[in-house]
């Protein structure tokens, strides 16, 4: 989905403790105090409200870290590209020649060799991720009804995103060519139920047929589908009727929609994800104009509560009705940055690290594992968090077979004072957690992604986040469901036109993404390090329970940030100026090499 930021909270004083990471090992740190909470929100400056009414006591160190005809398939737009000769050098490195576009001379890329496919367990999943609204297109083609994201998809006059609705066979071929063993995609709710929330009884057979065809195509090519049921694109009919997740009505409607998915696809889909990045949707979606009415409390706490209940209700329904027969698993994908203290010797900065993880990841993980919100949030949210009834707690706790983690970047955090007025709850003396990219010594958190002031590549953050989840949440089964790096190359024409005009530099900028190869390798290296974190349980050695890794994204698409179509995360290039034609980038060709059995020695 691209990078996800955080929401801020006002806090006061209260004790809590957790684990702090030191890159080499997990150590027990000290204690953090806080109290009351208000709702203020971050922006691109990465300021996260932390404390209300009181200053921190500097004497304490902190503890831890948070039927209708099937639509015809369009003529393939894939471009033949070649993976040429590979050369090994004495230092162990390897080079690979690739032809990026027809008529061009081969380009040589250096292949990192410090991590191999054989470093991971035999059944470890390697795949790529996308979402429906970012790839399929937003038209009414195939009986689809509008979603809340259609206006953004249509930015710049592009109505079809990357037209995967018509070109899905090309996408499957790309996955096969790369040697991917899994594909994580999402189903468009409004393509399946065009009148969702108004008339759920009408199921769009064209939508069912489309996803059946995609699922069958994947399985026929040895690729396992991982299916997300909700990836931000709420049916407009649901939004209009009761403001979506701000109403408890969403729970029964989401459950009905999920049932349609299980019933139609569950015989082949064995890995379900209920909701993608609920933190991003629940936090930002209801403070940036979705919705604009004031008939329901627009608090993200209400939206988040209903998201969690919707997820849990679907999991319970799947387990009660389908799981034994269909033999599948179900989980949720959560987003989180990794956080480091600005000053590792300052207890308050370590407290800020802990609070950041609590308020981003713990907001969801604590209810799923423990049946209730993090203690710090229970005590401190002004006006109080919504509370789970005993029946709801029983439904929520343990409502996952696996957890998806979406990780992109990290930040240093530090407390800083500021006075503010919250228009909902009144004036409050507030202390913020401020996020930054440099620490006290001036060291940057990581390397900035190409043309980006937002994403800093911090591969060690993935390792630390996975180990944190292992130790804090009882080592759940985890898939890294998104990880990637963006670029915003300058492209002035189609690849064909650029080649005809011998504009080789723009083609190289578009397709020769060696930085992405390096990024994936370094994250896989750190994922391997996380797997090597061995603990003893009942006399047995237990490693970190990570089962797979998905790159965001299979192909360039409409990104949910200011870059839109200009921001490119894809392993494969989409030519928006030439019928959404796909070109394999160097990283796509590298993945073929990485996954090939001949390279695993």
In this structure, are residues 532 and 543 in contact, taking their beta carbons and an 8 Å threshold? yes
CB 77 within 8 A of CB 167: yes
- Give the DSSP per-residue string, 131-198: -HHHHT-SSSGGG---BTTHHHHTGGG-SSTT-HHHHHHHHHHHHHHHT-SEEEEE--HHHH-TTTTT
Q: How many CA atoms lie within 13 A of 445 on its CB side?
A: 27
What is the residue-wise DSSP string for 202-222? ---HHHHHHHHHHHHHHHHTT
> Angle at the Cα of 239 (from 233 to 241), degrees rounded to 5?
150
Residues 203/192, Cβ–Cβ less than 8 Å: yes
What element of type H or E holds 437?
A: none
User: Cα separation of 153 and 136, whole Å?
Assistant: 10
Task: Tell me which DSSP letter residue 528 carries.
Answer: H
Sign of torsion over alpha carbons 432, 437, 440, 446: positive
Q: How many CB atoms lie within 10 A of CB 157?
A: 5
How does DSSP assign 467-506, residue by residue? HHHHHHTT---EEEEE----B-----S-HHHHHHTT-HHH
Distances (CA, A) of 408 to 4, 96, 250, 335, 339: 8, 27, 30, 9, 12
Among 136, 431, 434, 482, which one carries the catalytic annotation?
482
CA distances to 56, 124, 463, 471, 523 from 542, rounded to whole Å, are 38, 16, 16, 11, 22
Label the pairing between strands 329-335 and 271-276: parallel
Q: d(Cα 427, Cα 425) in Å, to the nearest integer?
A: 7
User: Of 229, 232, 146, nearest to 560 (Cα)?
Assistant: 232
Cα 576 to Cα 564: distance, rounded to the nearest angstrom: 12
Query: What stretch of H or E contains 347?
Result: helix 347-357
The dihedrals phi and psi of 362, each to the nearest 5 degrees, come to: -65, -25
Q: Is 248 a catalytic residue?
A: no
Catalytic residue, from 277, 431, 434, 506: name it: 277
Rounded to a whole number, what is the distance in angstroms from the first to the last CA of the chain?
A: 34
Distance CA 108, CA 257 (A): 48
Active site residue 482: yes
Which positions are annotated as active-site residues? Answer: 277, 482
């Amino acid at each position: 989905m691209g990078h996800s930021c955080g929401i801020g909270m006002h806090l006061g004083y209260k004790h809590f403790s957790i684990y702090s990471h030191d890159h080499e090992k997990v150590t027990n740190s000290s204690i953090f105090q806080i109290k009351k909470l208000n709702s203020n929100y971050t922006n691109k400056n990465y300021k996260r409200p932390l404390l209300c009414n009181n200053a921190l006591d500097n004497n304490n160190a902190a503890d831890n870290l948070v039927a209708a005809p099937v639509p015809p398939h369009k003529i393939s737009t894939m471009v033949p590209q070649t993976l040429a000769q590979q050369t090994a050098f004495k230092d162990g490195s390897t080079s690979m020649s690739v032809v990026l576009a027809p008529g061009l001379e081969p380009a040589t890329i250096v292949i990192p060799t410090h991590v191999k496919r054989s470093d991971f367990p035999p059944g470890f999943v390697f795949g790529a991720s996308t979402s429906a609204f970012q790839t399929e297109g937003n038209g009414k083609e195939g009986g689809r009804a509008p979603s809340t994201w259609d206006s953004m998809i249509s930015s710049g006059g592009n109505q079809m995103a990357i037209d995967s609705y018509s070109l899905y066979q090309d996408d499957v071929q790309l996955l096969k060519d790369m040697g991917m063993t899994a594909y994580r995609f999402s189903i468009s709710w409004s393509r399946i139920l065009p009148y969702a929330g108004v008339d759920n009884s009408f199921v769009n057979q064209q939508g069912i047929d489309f996803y059946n065809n995609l699922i069958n195509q994947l399985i026929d090519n040895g690729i396992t589908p991982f299916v997300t049921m909700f990836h931000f694109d709420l049916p407009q009919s649901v939004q209009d009727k009761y403001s979506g997740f701000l109403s408890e009505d969403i729970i029964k409607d989401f459950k009905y929609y999920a049932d349609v998915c299980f019933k139609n696809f569950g015989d082949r889909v064995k890995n379900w994800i209920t909701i993608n990045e609920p933190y991003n949707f629940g936090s930002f979606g209801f403070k940036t104009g979705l919705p604009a009415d004031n008939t329901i409390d627009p608090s993200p706490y209400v939206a988040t509560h209903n998201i969690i209940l919707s997820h849990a209700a679907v999991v319970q329904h799947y387990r009660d009705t389908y799981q034994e027969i269909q033999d599948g698993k179900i989980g949720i994908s959560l987003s989180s940055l990794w956080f480091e203290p600005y000053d590792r010797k300052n207890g308050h900065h370590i407290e800020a690290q802990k609070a950041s993880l609590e308020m981003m990841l713990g907001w969801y993980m604590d209810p799923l594992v423990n049946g209730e919100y993090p203690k710090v949030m229970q005590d401190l949210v002004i006006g109080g968090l919504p509370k789970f009834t005993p029946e709801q707690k029983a439904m929520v706790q343990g409502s996952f077979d696996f957890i998806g983690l979406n990780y992109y970047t990290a930040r240093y955090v530090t407390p800083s004072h500021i006075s503010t007025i919250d228009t909902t709850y009144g004036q409050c003396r507030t202390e913020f957690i401020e996020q930054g990219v440099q620490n006290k010594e001036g060291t940057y958190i990581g390397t900035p992604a190409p043309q980006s002031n937002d994403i800093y590549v911090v591969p060690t953050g993935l390792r630390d986040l996975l180990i944190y989840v292992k130790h804090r949440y009882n080592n759940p089964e985890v898939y890294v469901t998104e990880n990637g790096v963006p670029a915003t190359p300058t492209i002035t024409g189609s690849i064909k036109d650029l080649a005809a005009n011998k504009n080789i530099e723009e083609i190289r900028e578009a397709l020769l993404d060696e930085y992405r190869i390096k990024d994936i390798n370094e994250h896989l290296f750190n994922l391997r390090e996380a797997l090597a974190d061995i603990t003893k349980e009942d006399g047995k050695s237990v490693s970190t329970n990570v089962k797979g890794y998905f790159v965001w994204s299979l192909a360039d698409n409409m990104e949910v940030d200011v870059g839109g179509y200009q921001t490119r995360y894809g392993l494969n290039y989409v030519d928006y100026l030439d019928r959404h034609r796909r070109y394999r980038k160097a990283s796509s060709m590298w993945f073929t090499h990485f996954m090939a059995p001949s390279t695993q020695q």
